[in-house]
Each structure stands twice: as structure tokens, then as C-alpha cells.
Chains A and B, each alone.
Chain A
Amino acid sequence: DTAVSQTPKYLVTQMGNDKSIKCEQNLGHDTMYWYKQDSKKFLKIMFSYNNKELIINETVPNRFSPKSPDKAHLNLHINSLELGDSAVYFCASGLTSGANVLTFGAGSRLTVL
């Protein structure tokens, strides 16, 4: 069973469209994250939710809206997509009471044309 699963794995869309990426974890973790990996492979945190509460929002444009319906799910919705949004988006989960070890999903590659 996949511990952190993301869908879709690949997403190709036009500028101006709205798209969503879904993430689910079955590890019983209490915190979930979205990271963005750019074309130079640099990883930067975007959001973090702890038990459905937003705890990190790293100056991400408000076109990006995370939603956590429960602590096992964290979705990412992106409005009015721009060319610069092309990247690989990684979902991760962890236990804040633990040693900050994160388990990552396989990534969702978003290409905006």
C-alpha cells in the first residue's frame, strides 16, 4: 500500500486554467505538507496543515489554495495557472511529535503551456 499517494502524477494544461492535485496518506500522521520543486530541483515548502489547521503558508500567491478535509487528506487547488507554476509538486506527511521525518509522495508534475 502506498503511504503517501498523489493524483494525478502528470498534469498538462493551458495558462489561465484551474487545476487540483490531491494527496492522501495512510500513515496516521497529523501533519501534511505541500512542497514545490522547480526546474533546478530546488525544494521549497508551500503549505503545512496540522489536524486540518493551516500552520505554514510560505508567501505563496493566493491563486494557490490548500484544503484539508481531514487529517489524512490535503489537496492543492491552483487558479489562473501561469507558466511559472510549472513544477513538480510533492505532498508529504509527518508527525510533529516525532523527529520531523517526512514521508513524501511520488510527486505531481504540472506543465503549464
Chain B
Amino acid sequence: AQSVTQLGSHVSVSEGALVLLRCNYSSSVPPYLFWYVQYPNQGLQLLLKYTSAATLVKGINGFEAEFKKSETSFHLTKPSAHMSDAAEYFCAVSETPGNTGKLIFGQGTTLQVKP
């Protein structure tokens, strides 16, 4: 069975500092991996996705993530945090296409950005 683990339920950084949100996955087949962001009282918005092409994936708002098969990781980074980045971030895994399209989510990481 597939699963996702996000290390750190709460991450706090200063404005302008590096953002690093950790995600490790478990999958018996080549996975598709996603990061979603949830702003307060809103739905989830796709930040970026990995679908077996380039291992370094660039997303919206300056975020990027690197797929490392040997470490079963898909960590999310941003060089310089902005106050508007404060939100809940979810890593998710899906089986490759041809099936249900179901996403399995990690438990989420709350990103706090201090001025």
C-alpha cells in the first residue's frame, strides 16, 4: 500500500529564509507525487507534480521539489520565504495513470513565516 510521511507537522522560518518541507513516500510502483497548498479556509491548490519526467520539478510561487528514488523522498523547497507562503502544505502520492486517480495525502505541515 502506498503511504506518505511528512516530517514535521509545524515548520517556522523567518521571512527571506530557506523553506524546506520534508516528504517521504512508500510505493511499490513508480509513483506520481504532488505538493498541494491550503490557505486558511480555502481548498487545496496544486503547487507542483512529479510524473516520472525530470526529477527536479518547478512549481508556482517559486517552489520546487526534487524526486530522489534512492531516498524515497520528495522534499519541497523555496529559496526565500515570503509572508504570503504561510499555509498548510500537503504531500501526496498516486499510482500511475490507468487506475482510479486516488491521491493519498500526508498529514500536512503548517508553515509559519515570521517577519
Chain A positions near chain B (C-beta within 8 angstroms) = 4, 31, 33, 40-45, 48, 50, 55-56, 90, 92, 94-107
Contacts and interface: CB of A to CB of B under 8 A. Distances in A.
19 contacts: A31-B101, A33-B101, A41-B38, A41-B107, A42-B107, A43-B44, A43-B105, A45-B102, A55-B100, A95-B101, A96-B100, A97-B97, A99-B49, A100-B32, A100-B34, A102-B103, A104-B44, A105-B43, A106-B42
A56 B49 contact: no
A100 B103 contact: yes
Contacts, number: 70
B43 A106 contact: yes
Contact of A48 (B44, B100, B108): B100
Interface of B: 32, 34, 36, 38, 41-46, 49, 51, 88, 90, 94-95, 97-105, 107-108
A76 to B, nearest CB: 15
Contacts of A99: 32, 49, 51, 97
Residue from the set B38, B45, B49, B107 with the largest chain A CB neighbour count within 10 Å: B38
Given A41-B107, A99-B32, A56 B43 contact: no
